[in-house]
Every structure is written in structure tokens, then in C-alpha cells.
Amino acid sequence: MRAALWLLTMAVAQRNKPQGVQLSSSPYDILGVHRRATVQEIRNAYRAKARETHPDKARPGREAEMRDRFLEVAAAFELLTDENARRDFDSRGTYQRPTTKTYKRRTQKKHAPLTEEEERAAARVLNVRSRKHLEDAALGVDGKVDRHFVLALYDEGECEDYLTYITRFPYPFADKLDPHGIWWEDVLQTAKTRLTDADGQLSRIAKKLNLDVRRGCPQVVFAGNGTDLFGEMDVLRRPTRQSLEEWLWPKLQTRVRFENDSPHTIRTWWVHGGHAKDPMDVAPGASLERNAYVSHLFAVRDVRAGGPLTKESCLNWQHVDSDANPFVIRAAPKCQDWHGDCGAWGDAGECERNDGFMRKFCHRTCRGRDATRAALVADEAAQRAADAQAEAARLREAYEAAAAAAKRLQDEAISLEIQAEAASVNALRCDAGYPEKEVRRW
């Protein structure tokens, strides 16, 4: 009876145990949280680690290593936001993240392979295994969605192939939004889970979302920040990549409010594709609102500044990098360049030739060059210090090696001296008595 119970327990554990990415250490250590960390603390740690482990952060040739580190971060996040898996780890101390299914052999003839960017985005999708896991990953302390949440529901086979190669889920709504440098994890979480159970019936999550499997597979659900996950969601069925983008981008629209805290009129631009568009003026002490999307870049400049638009000549140069509504961009007086050509003038040596004028009119450019030169000098000094430390360590090692060799020779000399003294004593040692027996024999 006991053996049967043990076999049943092991079978259930093996069925529920994820397979794939093996954690190199505790998930708590990987995310940098304590063992009693709340779900919110775990989510915050995951977002920070997700940015740190992006391949763009890696040194040349170490992109694969950084990707493996992120897979560990994702595995740790999935474990610690899944109550059952977390309890299982705390008691048994092991966990593996499910691996992503490989489709090349089955679908290579039908569909184009995923691009590097699409594969990177797919690696950042959260694998949801239960309703409780979904709620812990998506909801804040108030029970509402704490950032935009996109959930894809699928089944194995043709549906999963469709989601991967036709929808290309979750691209482009995961990973880093190039070229703007925006991290989707700050504003939107993508996840996926099963649409039906092994017996072909709707999964518990699909039932809670009131989905209908007869309407097609896969199905993508969107819940906006601050909404009820199961009551205010929108559904898109069997989307292509184009239809997914057309459906999702408008949901990411937000209001941007420009607040002018300076005593002079400011001008705002939307910067897109290297061009400044839609200029709007804001009077001193006033504010202005306009529609925008996450990742949009806006420039704010004093109207008295001239020349081309540059960061150095602006009071603010900011991306919409959160889902705050409205997203506030403030302009306050600060030292800046008063002309967009200051950079070109600085390159021509004007900061040195016309120091008085340039330090006032092109403050950020000229002071920035001073700071750059100082940083270079500091870097050179730091490198020299590091070289000196390395040389000192080398000499210290050589000295210690020479001292050890001298000690060995000294010990050997003492040993030989002792042996020589013993041989000398033995050589001079004799019997003082008369050798009577020897005389008789002789």
C-alpha cells in the first residue's frame, strides 16, 4: 500500500514538474528577493532583471550567454508566481522551465522561420499554468490589472503552429522596442496558456474568460491597465501578425500632458523617423494634452532657441515609456544649448576659440566636452592604476615565490649541515679500550 501511494505521488509530481531550463541557483537568488517576498516584489524584480539580461547588454560574443541568463530569470519568475510550483520548490528544491517546442521539422516547408527578433520576443512570453498563476502574474494589490496584459490561448498542433508562424506571437510586443530603447516589460506583459484540457474541454482559464473554442484557435485576450481581468477584456480570434498589430496598437494609446514650468513659451514636437512633426506651443504656466502611443518620442524646447532640433538644445527629450494616463512631460528652466548647431561649432573648435560666448550660448555642448575630456583622463588614470596594481601583484607573487625558494634552500642547507656534523662525529668516534681479542687473533 505504501509503495503504491509513493508511485502515485511520484507520477503526479512528474506530470506537474516542468521540463527544460535548469536553474543554476535558487530562484530567489536569481531575482534577488528574499524567500518571503510578495508577488508584487517578485514582479518588480523580474522586470528589472529582464532589462539587465537583454542580449543588447552583453559584450560582443556573449549574446548567447545573456540569453541563457534571461531564460533563467523567466524560469525563476514563472516558478515564484505559481503558488503550487513555488511551494513544490520550497519543499524539494528543484525546478525546470518548460522548453519551447521546436517546429522546424514540421513547418519548414510551409512557413518562413522566425527572425532573431521574433525568437527573442517569444523567449520572453510567460507560460501560465493555472488560474491562480495568471492572477498572481497579472493583478496588482488592488485586484486590477497592474499593466497591460496580453494572453494567447492555444492548443498543440495546427493551432500552436498558427500562433507561432502566422500570428508570430508576441512580436513586436515583447522584448526591446527598437530603435527607441523602450522595454515592453515595463508597460505590457505577454503570456500564453492552453485553450483546452487534455480531454478537449475548455481549460479553467478559458472558461473564466468566457471563451468559445468553436470560434477558432488560437485566441488572444487583452486586458488594459487598471481593468478587471475577467470582466473588461477584449478577444481576437486567429489573428495574423498584421491583424494583431492593427488590433493591439490602438489599445496602447494614451494621453500625454505637457506642463510648462518655465517663464517662457515652449514648443513641443513628436520626433519620428528622424523628423520633428506636429509642433505645438505651450504658454508659461499652462499645459497641453495630446494623444500618443507607448514608445513615442517628444522634444520640448524654449521657443527662443534656434537651429535644428537636438537633445542639447531641448528642455526635455523623452519617450512615453509607461502606461500612465496621462503621461506627464514637464519643461523647466535649465542650462542648454541655444542653437541646434552648437555641436557642429564645437567640433570646429569654437569652444576653445570663443570660450566666453560659447560657454554661455552652447553651455551643454562645451561643458559636455569638458566632462568627456575629464572622463577620458579619469579612465586613463584608472587604467594606469589597474596596470600598476597588476604589476604589483605580479611582483608580489614573484617575491613570494623567491622567498619560498630561499626558505627551501635554507632548510636544505640546515639539513645538510646536520648530516655533515653527524658524519664528522661518526668519523672521530672510537673505542678507548685495548683491543685484546684482536691482538690475540692477529
**Do 90 and 152 sit in the same domain of this protein?**
no
| Phi, psi (deg, nearest 5) at residue 28 | -65, -40
Please state, in angstroms and as integers, the Cα–Cα distance from residue 92 to each residue in 85, 86, 95, 127, 311, following that order. 10, 10, 9, 21, 53
On whether the CB atoms of residues 95 and 81 are closer than 8 A, the answer is no
- The residues with which 249 forms a beta bridge, in sequence order, are none
Residue 60's region, left for phi above 0, alpha for psi from -120 to 50, else beta, is beta
Is 283 contained in some domain? Answer: no
Is 282 contained in some domain? Answer: no
**Do 58 and 17 sit in the same domain of this protein?**
yes
Domain count, the chain: 2
Is 266 contained in some domain? Answer: no
Is 92 contained in some domain? Answer: yes
**Do 94 and 134 sit in the same domain of this protein?**
no
Sequence-separated (6 or more) residues with CB below 8 Å from residue 117: 171, 172, 175, 178
Is 73 contained in some domain? Answer: yes
What is the CB neighbour count within 10 angstroms for residue 4? 8
Is 427 contained in some domain? Answer: no
Among candidate residues 299, 294, 268, 271, the one with its CA nearest the CA of residue 281: 268
- Find the CATH number of the domain harbouring 94: 1.10.287.110
- Domain end (from 239, 254, 269): 239
- Find the CATH number of the domain harbouring 229: 3.40.30
**Do 146 and 234 sit in the same domain of this protein?**
yes
160: cell is 500552436
- Domain end (from 239, 254, 279): 239
Among candidate residues 11, 241, 8, 216, the one with its CA nearest the CA of residue 114: 241
On whether the CB atoms of residues 217 and 238 are closer than 8 A, the answer is yes
**Do 34 and 90 sit in the same domain of this protein?**
yes
Per-residue pLDDT of the chain (442 residues; tens, 9 = 90+): 444 433 433 333 333 333 456 777 888 888 888 888 888 888 888 877 877 776 656 666 676 777 778 778 888 888 888 887 888 888 876 655 555 444 444 444 478 899 988 988 888 888 898 888 898 888 888 888 888 899 999 999 999 999 999 999 999 888 776 555 667 877 888 999 999 988 888 999 999 999 988 889 999 999 988 888 888 889 999 999 999 999 999 998 889 999 999 999 999 999 987 789 999 999 999 999 999 988 788 999 999 999 999 999 999 999 887 777 789 999 999 888 999 999 999 999 988 888 888 888 998 888 877 666 666 677 777 788 888 888 888 888 888 888 888 888 888 888 888 888 777 777 766 666 767 776 677 6
**Do 230 and 139 sit in the same domain of this protein?**
yes
Is 370 contained in some domain? Answer: no
pTM: 0.61
**Do 174 and 212 sit in the same domain of this protein?**
yes
- Domain end (from 188, 204, 239): 239
Domain with 212 in it: 127-239
What is the CB neighbour count within 10 angstroms for residue 279? 13
**Do 230 and 137 sit in the same domain of this protein?**
yes
Is 399 contained in some domain? Answer: no
